[in-house]
Amino acid sequence: MGRRTHAVQAAALLLLLAFLHLHVAAAADPPFSCGAASGAPYCDRKLPMERRAADLVSKLSLEEKISQLGDESPAVARLGVPAYKWWSEALHGVAWSKGMHLDGPLRAATSFPQVILTAASFNPHLWYRIGQVIGREARGVYNNGQAEGLTLWAPNINVFRDPRWGRGQETPGEDPSMTGKYAAVFVRGVQGYGMSGAINSSDLEASACCKHFTAYDLDNWKGVTRFAFDAKVTEQDLADTYNPPFKSCVEDGGASGIMCSYNRVNGVPTCADHNLLSKTARGDWSFNGYITSDCDAVAIIHDVQGYAKAAEDAVADVLKAGMDVNCGGYIQTHGVSAYRQGKITGEDIDRALRNLFAIRMRLGLFNGNPKYNRYGNIGAGQVCSKEHQDLALQAAQDGIVLLKNHAGALPLSKSRLSSSSIAVIGPNGNNASLLLGNYFGPPCISVTPFQALQGYVKDARFVQGCKAAVCNVSDIGEAVHAAGSADYVVLFMGLDQDQEKEEVDRLDLGLPGMQESLVSKVADAAKKPVILVLLCGGPVDVTFAKNNPKIGAIVWAGYPGQAGGIAIAQVLFGEHNPGGRLPVTWYPKEFTAVPMTDMRMRADPSTGYPGRTYRFYKGKTVYNFGYGLSYSKYSHRFASKGTRPPSTRSGIEGLKATASAAGTVSYDVEEMGAEACDRLRFPAVVRVQNHGPMDGRHPVLLFLRWPNATDGRPASQLVGFQSVHLKADEAAHVEFEVSPCKHLSRAAEDGRKVIDQGSHFLKVGDDEFELSFMA
């Protein structure tokens, strides 16, 4: 215990010294426009934002206008407009990017777990608080004069459709409604809004950008790249899988940015798709913000895809579709010639610029020195604060998923191990940077799993086993010897950023190289069943370990961020009760026979196509979506007194029903109207109890299932989820608001939302509640 206390005190001292170092240098003034002497209408805070933006745009020359349509927008000195950089990254913490510079007095920012692990907590309040911290720290960096922009290109809310996708780690997982919820609350946190309720769209703490719109989830697979890929997607799949997260991001989160993706969808580049950008996002969803391309996506429309016959055509295609700014210099290079050739109009340019300057004004950058405005009190002292770092630890703790715990192999006993020895084996056991995943910045602290375990066990030894996750060169003999001579063994295996990342999709779902052999031989040599900790974003097939009694426990820890090493140690030693649930299906190795390029969600028995994600997949799994163990046992049941479904007749009376080819009778949700849909809402109350022996945080997941999966219905569908903390033997009631129009509907083949006549079953744990939808 004393050794661990000293380790914690030493870490705290290092953190304090680092914190003091961050603040010794004086902060520079952030860039801004409209100082005290300016009387221009675009500086008048009493005027509507749209009028201010229009006034500024009207004062620009053609060349000045075109210069503003790239992610690096130069200054317009004669008008007092500073340069601006649109590209800043903040996926799971403020990161290195063009617009954010963590190389001055501030040299670190809070690094949260990679998003896929944070999602495993199924805790929207946690997601919101993380967004809050990221927005606050971004503003703190800006106010400290170390940023040239506050437009953060996060979150990534593409559905994790295929387990091989290298960027799946960046997403909240495979369920569209869960991804949409993450998008909404994260965006609200970043932009300074409340977690729910009204949105003050004229006052942004920072700007969040939902990416990559849409049907983007392939980077580089067997020679097929994201730049050239044409995603063939049905209206049904667009309506119930690919687009809902973006709809939620805009309508529920109030996102101020959208990024269109590299790929084409049904032949049309997304950045050149007027139906997608203008009709759907701005029209149907009332999007109020700017739309950026992914980087060099405009050039790719001409240079790679050949969709545009000339560079000027590519510029015209995207501006007329509704895109506003190009990440890259393509529009800045070819915009003037596109205008002079008559391919774009002045209004095409001005529309984009009004959107762009409105965002900068909503950020307060045309209100004089930001230090003296609403968010001016956010300074360097709030970056890497103790509160923020505690939240990073909580996020890692709550996301970790216990996949196997045979014969109570975990938690480890602190009292027994204090006088025992432990061997920590594996390429991921003592690598701090690996814990961060991708799109990261310099973390406030850095503690590896091995370093954290040293605080618990006096006699701890680390053996790498493989030089890296690829594990094509290994020293199995040394690892086996270490395992045989230690009292306990913990293996840290999995993937790294050479195996999965942007532009790198996997070809195999197993552990890379010789890892599986290393794990099995170490388990055979160990005195007791070993503990296997998997550090990876995407799922891996560990059936061999699941079925091996010499592997006592399996823990998935994603890429757990700056506090990940500490969190893993706390879970292994029972200082934290694991409660995370898998946000993706873990498929067997055989799934790689399915082409990654096949975008269909639904199974096709006639061809043997198995479908994708828990909603449609018909095949064997290693672990299911929503799976996760705990050191405690929980029970769930519907509380009959609280669950009160209304009469469904009032919502569909007088409506014309349609019948599918399979004979299913259904009602069009749009025809029902908002008033009828509101009348059908009802509460579903679940009693959940922690039967002990430990206190713990527990996600309660409410699913819908239909009697059968005809007409493209999902096998099951997540309706809602909440995270509740319960003491041992404590019970609580958790209430879900069920909206039949939203939760009980499905997408028809043409994309319309319909509700089917007949039985619908709400399910929580092993308990079900039947709701009959009849005229």
Beta bridge partners of 756: 666
Q: Give the DSSP H/E element, type plus range, for residue 429.
A: none
SS3 3: helix
- Nearest C-alpha neighbor of 89 from the set 198, 197, 211, 238: 211
- Nearest C-alpha neighbor of 183 from the set 175, 741, 226: 175
- Angstrom distances, CA of residue 121 to CA of 70, 336, 398, 400, 582: 38, 50, 5, 8, 9
- Are residues 572 and 411 in contact, defined by beta-carbon separation less than 8 angstroms? yes
Q: Which pair of tokens denotes residue 8?
A: 């914690």
Q: Which pair of tokens denotes residue 401?
A: 């998923």
Q: Under the phi-then-psi rule, with left for phi > 0, alpha for psi from -120 to 50, and beta for the rest, what region is 115?
A: alpha
| Residues contacting residue 661 through CB under 8 Å, at least 6 positions apart | none
Q: Supply angle C-alpha 452, 537, 465, rounded to 5.
A: 55
Distance CA 560, CA 435 (A): 5
Q: Is the dihedral of CA 741, 742, 747, 750 positive or negative?
A: positive
Beta bridge partners of 243: none
Distance CA 473, CA 515 (A): 10
Distance CA 500, CA 394 (A): 25
User: In this structure, are strands 530-535 and 488-494 parallel, antiparallel, or unpaired?
Assistant: parallel
Distance CA 523, CA 305 (A): 51
Distance CA 358, CA 50 (A): 7
SS3 190: helix
Q: Give the DSSP H/E element, type plus range, for residue 1.
A: none
* Buried b or exposed e, range 687-714, using 16+ CB within 10 angstroms: bbbbebeebbbbbbbbbbbbeebebbbb
DSSP 8-state secondary structure symbol assigned to residue 158: -
Distance CA 425, CA 551 (A): 14
DSSP count for the chain of H helices, then E strands: 24, 28
Beta bridge partners of 533: 492, 555
- Nearest C-alpha neighbor of 382 from the set 145, 152, 106: 106
| Residues contacting residue 615 through CB under 8 Å, at least 6 positions apart | 175, 241, 601, 714, 715, 716, 717
- Angstrom distances, CA of residue 310 to CA of 304, 413, 451: 12, 68, 57
Distance CA 171, CA 92 (A): 10
- Distance from CA of residue 439 to its chain's centroid? 12
Residues in the chain: 775
Distance CA 595, CA 18 (A): 48
Distance CA 577, CA 564 (A): 15
Distance CA 303, CA 25 (A): 46
| Given the residues 219, 237, 294, 541, the one annotated as active site | 294
- Please indicate whether residue 711 is annotated as part of the active site: no
Beta bridge partners of 220: 225
Q: Give residue for tokens 């501030």.
A: 106
- Are residues 170 and 159 in contact, defined by beta-carbon separation less than 8 angstroms? no
Residues designated as active site: 294
